[in-house]
Chains A and B, each alone.
Chain A
């Protein structure tokens, strides 16, 4: 039976579908994890609240879409509004991130790194409960996906498209496009702008950078804000994906894969995160196919993802592209 499934798996149409789905998943993973990796690389803060902020982003983006889109809105307008929603979620969460950094994270830089983990963990509880209260007011179910937000997705994104023999969803193509844009944007920001230079210098050696006249404290705030903003943008995208959707458990669902991607890639390297997202996304797609077609174990994709994490840490503790010193505290 396994052999039959293997033969089936290796046909062009199936394999092609798996690759495209894998790329789409990778795109989502890179969007979820890039904010986390930026923050960790520069500041050494492992942000446990990242998942919760992604979830907030999903609800914010959903809210904007639900308010602006009505039944008769044409698909292209919906797409345009979606990009507006992404930008707005990014901006609002950046402001929130900046506020969080300056008020409660800044006093903790002198303490052992465990306190930043603890603090952001506490933050998660607060954020999730606040979201629950707000949902309560509007009579929404916190556990199940927000259907009204899902319904704002234009019809054509639900339909499959044929690429030669391979049939893939438009949604997957859309996600790949957005993921590529995000990666390109962050890469350009890090390597082509002056601020990106500051960030790279700060990641390398914060003390030296500040000795050279860079206001590292300000850079910290900006990077934290940007990282949180990215979480918000990722959340907005997830809101349209039926397998994720805007819900309160989304926080934990995104936090763990984000950790896997960041750790596998190596803490603090953006290149590593991108490669790791590809690895994790592909693994996810392949195991999902096997689970759907051959193996009857429900948790298979999740199980294998955590195995990837464990094996990476055993074989190459600093991650694929990690440098030993970064985050070695």
Chain B
């Protein structure tokens, strides 16, 4: 799709507006992380501020397994299996953290999960077993040069490797999909599967109890539910999928650092995505992340992909760029100053505006506009309510 648009007459505009395929892979795995964050925080109302620890666990497990540093699992372990192992580790961790944390609520719950996560973050950052330089984090070493394969383990025909440099290319119907595009579809497959699993859980009786906890926990207890166990269960499930997301991230990028996996600001990014997309909508955070990344890339420097800056430069021409505005600052200097690498500013402003004026987020607002989820509302619109 992206390639088709780039070769079309609107290529300049398309390159400006659309995120690159590589970014889109990031949107997918981080979107999954944000969804898992929403699964526990949006549905039970307990803000899990240390959620990054599960993401980091998944990422580190994948890399350490590939480097042969995990006992019993050699470097040749299939990627799908190490994703699963990472997920299970996160479940154990989530239960341990949850056992003590769910005795608290509100701000205190957010703070204790933050505390646990930061303890692990500092620990991982100083543990020289995981990498030669633990501060920079581990990277996949020479024991695993081939790409991580998503698919059915052991069956070569049903697996495709991901990664920008290490991924497979696929020729299909006369056109070739680049390794990044293949990664996009394969990561997307896992993310979609995880999303359906979580969606299924949320719409089960179990998920109803989670909603009851968010709306009125005392009443849920009074009705006879052991809310503690339900919360713990939700936390564990959410931890599992967060770790899968982290594993996908590590599998695609082939390296991780404490700052982009365990640090509390990673949770902050998930929070950002959840709020923009819609808190407690499950699918919303993915769209939130898409929105977030699109804005970031639109305003990012002229690295990869397009963005506003190169587009403006090309559009305005050199003479306009060199024209002086204030003092000795030129137009080019000014747009460079305001647009080069300062996307967080605009994302932050958008975020504040969302909190103030669109508290339900993109998907939440749209859903309340059409009255229900799209899967229900759209057919109802088309065929009438009397299906």
Contact = CB atoms under 8 A, between A and B. Distances in A.
Partners in one complex: yes
Interface of A: 46, 104, 107-108, 111, 113-115, 117-119, 121-126, 128-130, 132-133, 136-137, 252, 256, 259-260, 263, 267, 297-300, 302-303, 306-307, 309-310, 313-314, 317, 327-329
Contacts of A114: 45, 47
Nearest to B117: A306
A99 to B, nearest CB: 14
A113 B106 contact: yes
A267 B107 contact: yes
B275 interface: yes
A137 B119 CA distance: 37
B108 A317 contact: yes
A263 B110 CA distance: 11
Contact of A310 (B119, B125, B342): B119
A307 B116 CA distance: 8
B6 interface: no
Chain A at the B interface: mostly helix, strand, loop or mixed?
helix
A271 to B, nearest CB: 19
Interface stretch (B18-26, B74-82, B283-291, B347-355): B347-355
Contact of A252 (B115, B135, B265, B347): B265
The 6 nearest A-B residue pairs measured at CB: A125-B348, A129-B345, A299-B122, A126-B348, A122-B351, A299-B126
Given A137-B337, A313-B108, A122 B355 contact: yes
B356 interface: yes
Interface residues of B, number: 41
Interface of B: 45, 47, 100, 103-108, 110-112, 114-116, 118-119, 122-123, 125-126, 135, 264-265, 268, 271-272, 275, 337-338, 342, 344-345, 347-349, 351-352, 355-356, 359
Given A306-B119, A327-B108, 9 more contacts: A108-B356, A121-B268, A122-B348, A122-B355, A126-B349, A263-B108, A302-B122, A327-B106, A327-B107
Contact of B342 (A133, A267, A299, A317): A133
A130 B345 CA distance: 7
Contacts of A307: 115, 119
A309 B342 contact: no
B265 A132 contact: no
Contacts of A259: 111, 114
